[in-house]
Amino acid sequence: MSTAIATRLKVAVAVPALGAGLFAATFAPSQPAAAAPTHVAAVRAQVSSSAITDYVNSHLGTKVGTGQCVSLAIHFGIDVYGLPSTGWGGDAWAWAPGGGGSAQLLASHGFTWHTDGNYQNGDIMVYAKASNMRLGHVAIWYNGQAFEENWNHQQTAQLHSLAGRQAPAGYWRAPGGSTPPPPANPCNPLPPTWSWWEPSKDVQAAIQAELKHDGVYGGPVDGVWGPNTRKGIQIEIRKAGYQGLVNGIPGPRTACYVQKFAAEHGGYTGRINAIPRVNSWNGFLAALRNT
């Protein structure tokens, strides 16, 4: 978990250390881990590179937040589902219906509670009941395993088998299923300000060469941009959803989609603010080479 995420996460409650799978006696009897339903398999194949998969891969083996089970679940909810950083409960029982903070927050954002065992990737499993405030655990279902922290006192995020483990009391599912919706288009609405800055002559020439290779520019590769080069840029950014004019006159929409194209295909990780600078154009050049 990044320092920025950890800093903005404010959970002003004590988080209990959990034991080696000790849960309240009021839970359902022990049962084998539920098999993934067949109708989920095709969906998983389509979202193999989704935010859920990316999150698991990037945090596996790391200590997320405080290393407690609820800390991982909270950060997962913030990073993957875009949930707010405040309003969570710090104990596992607070995730069960009627338990308070976390349960209320999830329900208020359209998550639904289920007890049928038909898990999907990203479902938040709760081994706790609101009636028992002593013991509990929270984990995330991922490809038939539990993605979790503080299981058997391992304070790093790990994937563990569910075979032979006591069944969860239930799980929370995101609205529309556990695959999060696609991110909002940062260019709709457009940022309030914009500017058009063109890169160095070398980068301009390299971009012209790529535009020429793609057949959207027929002029010289001389590192001097004119209307025809800019028309080629406007054609290329259609790959990122640009639907504006192809007239060689850049405006805020052209500037924004240059960055969006760079982010989607060229590894650009900066702000998409319709003010392309050095990193934006380097990412744009990489995107041309990658598409």
pLDDT digits (tens, 9 = 90+) for 48-69: 336 788 888 888 889 888 778 8
Angstrom distance (rounded) from CA 236 to CA 62: 39
Angstrom distance (rounded) from CA 281 to CA 154: 43
- pLDDT of 129 higher than 60: yes
Looking at residue 178, what is its pLDDT?
Answer: 59
Angstrom distance (rounded) from CA 125 to CA 137: 8
Looking at residue 250, what is its pLDDT?
Answer: 96
Token pair 């088998």 is found at 161
Looking at residue 214, what is its pLDDT?
Answer: 96
Angstrom distance (rounded) from CA 123 to CA 104: 16
* 9 or 135: which leads in pLDDT: 135
pTM above 0.75, yes or no: no
Angstrom distance (rounded) from CA 279 to CA 258: 11
Looking at residue 263, what is its pLDDT?
Answer: 93
- Phi (first) and psi of residue 188, to 5 degrees: -145, 100
The pLDDT of 28-57, averaged and rounded, is 45
* 162 or 212: which leads in pLDDT: 212
- Residues 238-279 have pLDDT tens digits of 999 999 999 999 999 999 999 999 999 999 999 999 999 999
Angstrom distance (rounded) from CA 289 to CA 75: 35
Q: Is 236 helix (H, G, I), strand (E, B) or coil?
A: helix
Sequence-distant (6+) residues with CB within 8 A of 36 are: 44, 119, 120, 143, 144
The pLDDT of 109-123, averaged and rounded, is 90
Looking at residue 180, what is its pLDDT?
Answer: 54
- Residues 63-106 have pLDDT tens digits of 888 778 888 988 888 888 888 888 887 788 788 888 778 888 89
- pLDDT of 128 higher than 60: yes
- pLDDT of 15 higher than 60: no
- CA-based radius of gyration for the chain: 24
The pLDDT of 8-29, averaged and rounded, is 33
The pLDDT of 27-46, averaged and rounded, is 32
- Mean pLDDT, rounded, of the chain: 79
How many angstroms separate the first and last alpha carbons of the chain? Answer: 31
